[in-house]
C-alpha cells in the first residue's frame, strides 16, 4: 500500500495528493486552493496562543539552537590539494506528525538543526485537521524555528511529495522527522531519491536503577514513555527485587489516574531483576535503547560504561521529558537497537561532504606506479591507461 501511494505521488503529483488527502486526512484543498498554509496565517499563529505557551516555545527553541550550534563542523578538513569540504543541503523537508496529538516540539527539533546547518530552505509537511487547518501550536513553532513554508499533507503521501516533488510542493534533498508506521515505511520506500534521517520504530525507554532509586520516580519515567503509543516499550533493569516490586505497585497506582491509561496498558512494560549493576549495563548495551536512564548511587561512573544508546539521562532528576522538550539535545533518536550504529538527529543530518583532489603532474608521477599496479590487480586496464597516457 505504501509503495502504491509513493508511486502514485511520483506519477501524478498534486492530483494524487488531493485524492490521498481526502482519503486519509479527510481534507483536500478546494479548486484554486493549494496545500500551503498562507504565510499570513503562519505569521499570526503565535498570537493565537497564550503568552506563556509562546514563551515556552521560544525558551525551548533557544536552548535547542544553542546546543546544536556546538555541532557545527570545520567546513574544510585536509590540505589545500587533498581536502574534504562540508556543505549543507539546499532544501530540507521536515515532517511533524498529527493524529493523536500535535507535536510543536518536533518542529523545533527538526527545523532548528537544519537552519543551524545553513540549509537555505526548510519546508514542513504536517497532517491537517478535517477543516484543512493546522493547530496553531504547530504553526507557531514553525514561525519561531524559521520554516519557509508549511504544507497541509500527512502520512506516506507527505513523505513521497517531499521526496519527489509535485506541482505545488518542492522536492527536498533530505527528509527528517518522526511519524507513524506509514511514514516510516514511506521513508524506506523513497530512500535513494532523497536522504532521510533514519528509519524509526516505536519509542522506548530503559531504566537502569539500584535500590537507592525512588520507585515513584521510576514509575513516572516508565509511564511517560508508554503514553506515546500502544507499541511503545518501557523496561526497568535493577539489581533490587524490592525496587522492582515497589515500582510495579507505583506504576499500577499511577496509571489509573492518567488520561492515556488505555494506551499505557496496551504498551509493553518489563521489569527485570539481575545480579549486579554491571550486568544491568551489559544488558543495556545489548538492548541499545532510544532513551537510557541511569539512577543509582554511582550513576556517573556507570554512564561511562554506556556504549549504545540514543540519549543517556543520568541521575534522579534527569527525566526524559526534559530531553523531549527543553534541555537542548535532540529528541529524534535511533530506536529498535539502531543506537548500535545510528545517532540522534542533528546538524549532521543536513550536511554532506565532498572530496576535493587538486593534483598536478608531480602528484601524478608520485602516484603512478602504485596506481597502475593496483589497476592491474583488479583487471581495469583503462584505469591504468588514464594514468599512463598523461605521462607519454
What positions carry a catalytic annotation? 290-291
Question: How far apart, in whole angstroms, are the C-alpha atoms of residue 65 and residue 94?
Answer: 16
Residue with cell 537555505: 120
- Cβ atoms within 10 Å of 239's Cβ, excluding its own: 19
Q: Which of 202, 163, 161 is nearest to 184 (CA)?
A: 202
What is the phi-psi region of residue 367: left when phi exceeds 0, alpha when psi lies from -120 to 50, beta otherwise? alpha
Contact call for residues 311 and 329 (beta carbons, < 8 A): yes
CA angle centred on 220, ends 214 and 224, rounded to 5°? 150
Question: How far apart, in whole angstroms, are the C-alpha atoms of residue 378 and residue 383?
Answer: 10
- Give CA separation, 286 vs 154, 272, 312, in Å: 35, 14, 15
Q: Which of 363, 353, 387 is nearest to 81 (CA)?
A: 363
Contact call for residues 288 and 233 (beta carbons, < 8 A): no
DSSP assignment, residue 379?
T
Q: Would you call 210 helix, strand, or coil by DSSP?
A: coil
Task: Kindly list the strands in the beta sheet with 91-95, ordered across the sheet, starting from the edge strand earlier in the chain.
Answer: 149-152, 121-126, 91-95, 174-176, 195-196
Cell of 212: 537507592
Q: Would you call 288 helix, strand, or coil by DSSP?
A: coil
Contact call for residues 91 and 117 (beta carbons, < 8 A): no
CA angle centred on 180, ends 178 and 181, rounded to 5°? 120
Residue with cell 586496464: 381
Amino acid at each position: 500500500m505504501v509503495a502504491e501511494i509513493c508511486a502514485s505521488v511520483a506519477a501524478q503529483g498534486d492530483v494524487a495528493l488531493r485524492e490521498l488527502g481526502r482519503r486519509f486526512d479527510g481534507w483536500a484543498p478546494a479548486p484554486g486552493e493549494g496545500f500551503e498554509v498562507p504565510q499570513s496565517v503562519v505569521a499570526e499563529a503565535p498570537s493565537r496562543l497564550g503568552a506563556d505557551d509562546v514563551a515556552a516555545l521560544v525558551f525551548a527553541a533557544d536552548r535547542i539552537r544553542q546546543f546544536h550550534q556546538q555541532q557545527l563542523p570545520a567546513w574544510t578538513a585536509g590540505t589545500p590539494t587533498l581536502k574534504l569540504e562540508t556543505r549543507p543541503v539546499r532544501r530540507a523537508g521536515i515532517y511533524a506528525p498529527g493524529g493523536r496529538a500535535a507535536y510543536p516540539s518536533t518542529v523545533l527539533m527538526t527545523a532548528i538543526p537544519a537552519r543551524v546547518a545553513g540549509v537555505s530552505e526548510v519546508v514542513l509537511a504536517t497532517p491537517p485537521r478535517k477543516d484543512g487547518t493546522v493547530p496553531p501550536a504547530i504553526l507557531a513553532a514553525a514561525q519561531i524555528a524559521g520554516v519557509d513554508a508549511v504544507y497541509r499533507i500527512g502520512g506516506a503521501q507527505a513523505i513521497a511529495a517531499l521526496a519527489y516533488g509535485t506541482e505545488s510542493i518542492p522536492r527536498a534533498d533530505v527528509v527528517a522527522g518522526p511519524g507513524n508506521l506509514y511514514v516510516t515505511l514511506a521513508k524506506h520506500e523513497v530512500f535513494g531519491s532523497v536522504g532521510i534521517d533514519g528509519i524509526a520504530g516505536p519509542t522506548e525507554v530503559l531504566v537502569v536503577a539500584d535500590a537507592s532509586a525512588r520507585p515513584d520516580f521510576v514509575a513516572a519515567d516508565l509511564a511517560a514513555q508508554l503514553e506515546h503509543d500502544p507499541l511503545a516499550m518501557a523496561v526497568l533493569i535493577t539489581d533490587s527485587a524490592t525496587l522492582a516490586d515497589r515500582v510495579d505497585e507505583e506504576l499500577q497506582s499511577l496509571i489509573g489516574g492518567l488520561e492515556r491509561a488505555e494506551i499505557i496498558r496496551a504498551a509493553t512494560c518489563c521489569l527485570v531483576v539481575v545480579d549486579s549493576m554491571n550486568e544491568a549495563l551489559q544488558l543495556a548495551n545489548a538492548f541499545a535503547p532510544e532513551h537510557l536512564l541511569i539512577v543509582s548511587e554511582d550513576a556517573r561512573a556507570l554512564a561511562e560504561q554506556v556504549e549504545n544508546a540514543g540519549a543517556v539521562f543520568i541521575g534522579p532528576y534527569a527525566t526524559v521529558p526534559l530531553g523531549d522538550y527543553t534541555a537542548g539535545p535532540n529528541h529524534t533518536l535511533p530506536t529498535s537497537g539502531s543506537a548500535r550504529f545510528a545517532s540522534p538527529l542533528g546538524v549532521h543530518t543536513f550536511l554532506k561532504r565532498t572530496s576535493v583532489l587538486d593534483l598536478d603532474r608531480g602528484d601524478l608521477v608520485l602516484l603512478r606506479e602504485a596506481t597502475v599496479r593496483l589497476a592491474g590487480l583488479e583487471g581495469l586496464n583503462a584505469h591504468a591507461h588514464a594514468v599512463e597516457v598523461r605521462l607519454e
